[in-house]
Amino acid sequence: MTVDNCEVPTHQMPIDPPFKHLNGCKKLPDVTFVVEKTEFPAHRLILSERSEYFQSMFSSCFIEANSNRIELKDVNFKAFELVLEYVYTGNVDRFCDDTISLEEVFDRLECARFYIVDDLVVKVIEYIKKNGMSLLLKNMIGYRIPFAITICLSMLRGLEMPLYAYSVIIVFHSMGNLSNWADYHHAILTYCSAMIAIGIYMFIMVLVAITLHGWVAENVVDTIKVRFLASTLNKDGAFLDRAETSNAKLVSLMNSEAPEIKSALDNRLFTFISYTFAIFVLLIEATVFCWQMALAGSGWCIFVFSLLFICMRFSHRHTNQGISKTSHANVAVEIIENVKTIQLLNREKYFITKFAKAIDDVKHDFIRATIYQSIVFAIGIGGVFLADVISYSVGVPLIYYGKINSDSVFIAAMAMNVTCWNVLFAGITCLEVLRAEPAAAAILPLLDENVQNDGTVFEAKPTGILLNIEGSVRGECIEFAYPTRPTIKVANGLSFKAPQGQMIALVGPSGGGKSTVLALLERFYQFQSGGLTIDGIPVNNINLHHLRNHIALVGQEPILFAGTIKDNILLGIENSSSIDVKKACQLANAADFIEKLPLGYETEVGEKGAFLSGGQKQRIAIARAIVRNPKILLLDEATSALDSESEKAVEHALNSAAKSRTVISIAHRLSSIQNADHIYFIENGSIVESGTHSQLVASGGRYASLARKQRLQR
């Protein structure tokens, strides 16, 4: 019978075992089975024929096996059908008067079993796909062949211990049959030659294998770091808003977790494979000489390794839990970024205590992992010596009863002893190799498949429209909520228009949705409904890189990177010359102060522009925007953090930059936007009022109230 022949409605195909939901959750209908004049409650039905089948499928949710043999032909099958249908649907109104046949009952149950098995297979496949080691193999682009070679070399190195054990046994055997010095000399020479040959063999294998392992590990991990950073740069704003992909978490993943992946690629993997392969070879060797001892020793090795594996899984679990906790990393980043503020507040002790508490929780997880690792060592060492006891306990009686000679027992015993040592070493190195799995599972799912090893993004063909952008922007009934706060609407039916070459201003209280407009225009987020167009084309249909090449943003806090002034300005666009840089600086009112510096445009700005004043940084940021020659210029509180003198200089620069461009400006200081062509007052995600400065002041609305507070009645 196949599943295709089963007529089970869709809602009757449960993912979980079909009777699982009845265990302690539902009460079966009040139905009994009459069997040889004895009544049995439906939820304690006793079966003998195929009872093991029922019990294995449904545990004991409502059917139990019993040694008493009761013929099913005496069972009231109508009642059995009622129970069966109730279990599947919970419905007691669908039953007919005809009795159900035994074959039909088993057919229906067989259908359920097939669905259970299919679901189990799907879950296993999904687990394999999400497993860190599977993801690592998938992402070893360009290094799979060298990695396969290292695996083969590691296995060849695993012949070391079997060869050594066999050589010792041969010499031991030969020394027992010596009669003169020449025989002794020959035996010693044979032994020394064998050891030298094994030594040379091992020198070559270890040198080549570990070198190749190290080369593969370094290249793969470095490639993953580059792809990880490139993938992060290609994510949208919602990605960085999530707690699991916060800035601190991403930095921790790249700097702390990525190196852990090396444990599954470098000499630690080499050692694990070598010892594991040696175990199988030694077991075969022991089996050839004394299968009884090999069988007993194998059972002991399996028992020891099972204990080691259980302890390693617990250690692995606690390590994962420790890695997943990022509160300490967030606190550390917060402290380091605000050292001066903390010092001024004189609260060093408070923040040190805060970090200590955050790291304490993580510490307990890693301590538990260490305890299980120590148990692994203890079990392994004890198991090695007990292996000799088991081996000789089996071998000596075999010698006594003449079943086997002493040489074979000695060979098998030594092979089993070395096998247990290899089990110990394999278990220890397995702990190291397993450290790569949680790190790989945390990092590799974040990699974009189209990001190449060098960090470039592969596109078979550019996605989106490559139109000649003029700069006309229009928003209609935009609805938007941040992914981390889906119930709070930041934009609620927001509509605005910015004609080409004109300047519009967005004003209003904080949190009203002004900056959200800029984020949506730059496509850091995707709005839920409404429309946002540039030159009549929806922004989502425009090629992303092409769109951003025609938009420039000057924010409240200018972002400068470590390097020279010239380097920072040239970040605005590729293939610009020094002449373009100077022209942009002149328009940004920055050329004068730059050229007065000893090194001019080659002056280092320091980390985040620490060597420059706020006004100087802002003008360099404006120059970086101008050099791009954008069609749309976005200004987000560009002068709010400046003093009066710097504000005037920056406003002059902004006026120069705004010529012949579409400008969308956000401001709390109305003095900087009162000359805008159109002003929109935004509150709670909606346009409350709009018009020119004079129109809005005359209307006496919210804008006029704000203007009065800032004394801008004229």
Q: Is 409 domain-assigned?
A: no
Q: Are 638 and 477 contacting, i.e. CB atoms less than 8 angstroms apart?
A: no
CB 622 within 8 A of CB 554: yes
Residue 681: phi and psi, rounded to 5, are -95, 115
Q: Is residue 1 part of a domain?
A: no
Contact in structure between 255 and 485 (CB atoms under 8 Å): no
DSSP conformation letters of 119-144: HHHHHHHHHHHHSHHHHHHHT-TTTH
Q: What angle do CA 561, 563, 568 make, to 5 degrees?
A: 60
Write down the residue that tokens 């998938």 correspond to. 138
Write the burial class of residue 583 (CB in 10 Å: 0-12 exposed, 13-18 middle, 19+ buried): middle
pTM: 0.65
Task: Report the sign of the C-alpha dihedral through residues 525, 526, 529, 533, in that order.
Answer: positive
The structure tokens listed for 566 are 């010239």
Taking only Cα atoms into account, the Rg of the chain, rounded to an integer number of angstroms, comes to 38
Please state, in angstroms and as integers, the Cα–Cα distance from residue 211 to each residue in 16, 278, 527, following that order.
49, 21, 52
End of a domain among 358, 383, 403? Answer: 403
- DSSP letter string over 529-556? EEEEEETTEEGGGB-HHHHHHTEEEE-S
What is the per-residue pLDDT for 474? Answer: 92
Same domain? For 319 and 184 the reply is no
Q: How many domains does the chain have?
A: 4
Based on the domain organization, do 124 and 143 belong to the same domain? no
Closest alpha carbon to 77 in 61, 54, 49, 97 = 97
Query: Whose structure tokens read 């978490």?
Result: 249
Give me the CATH number covering residue 117: 3.30.710
Residue 572 C-beta-side C-alpha neighbours within 13 Å: 28
Classify residue 702: in a domain, yes or no: yes
- 478 and 374 housed in the same domain: no
Print the domain residue range for 674. Answer: 473-712
Q: Is 17 a domain residue?
A: no
**C-alpha distance from residue 127 to each of 14, 130, 132, 134, 687 (Å):** 20, 5, 10, 9, 49
The per-residue pLDDT for 129 is: 58
Q: Give yes or no for a contact between 267 and 386, defined as CB atoms under 8 angstroms apart.
A: no
* Domain CATH number, residue 201: 1.20.1560.10
Strand order in the sheet with 503-507: 551-554, 632-636, 662-666, 503-507, 678-683, 686-691
- Residue 706: closest CA among 272, 39, 688: 688
Residue 116 contacts residue 17 (beta carbons within 8 Å): yes
Residue 451 forms part of a structural domain: yes
- Asked if residue 172 and residue 125 are part of one domain, the reply reads no
Instruction: Check residue 453 and give its pLDDT.
Output: 55
pLDDT value of position 680: 92
Q: Whole-number mean pLDDT of the chain?
A: 74
**Looking at residue 646, what is its pLDDT?**
66
Give me the pLDDT at residue 77, please: 44
Residue 14 covered by a domain:
no
Backbone torsions φ then ψ of 332, nearest 5 degrees? -65, -45
Q: What is the number of residues in the chain?
A: 714
- CA-CA distance, 218 to 224, in Å (whole number)? 10
Q: In what order do the strands lie in the sheet with 537-538?
A: 491-498, 473-480, 529-534, 537-538
Shared domain for 284 and 295, answered yes or no, is: no
Sign of CA dihedral 319, 325, 329, 331: negative
Residues 583 and 445 in one domain: no
* CATH number of the domain where residue 693 is located: 3.40.50.300
- Report if residue 24 sits inside a domain: no
* Strand (E) or helix (H) holding 633: strand 632-636
Together in a domain, 181 and 110: no
Distance, in Å, from the CA atom of 242 to the CA atom of 531, rounded to the nearest integer, reads 26
pLDDT of residue 254: 80
- The structure tokens 């002003």 sit at 679
139 CB neighbour count, 10 Å cutoff: 19
CA 87 and chain centroid, separation? 40
SS3 content of the chain, % helix, strand, coil (to 5): 60, 10, 30
Q: What is the pLDDT of residue 640?
A: 67
- Give the residues of the chain that fall short of pLDDT 50: 1-103, 105-106, 109-110, 112-118, 455, 458, 460, 713-714
Same structural domain, 259 and 187: yes
- Based on the fold, state whether residues 124 and 136 are members of the same structural domain: no
Looking at the fold, whether 556 and 676 belong to one and the same domain comes out as: yes
Q: Does residue 426 belong to any structural domain of this protein? A: no
Q: Which residue has the tokens 């992402």?
A: 139
Together in a domain, 456 and 558:
no
- Please name the amino acid found at residue 419: T
- Same domain, residue pair 360 and 283: no
Instruction: Please tell me the distance from the alpha carbon of residue 238 to that of residue 288, in angstroms, as a whole number.
Output: 63
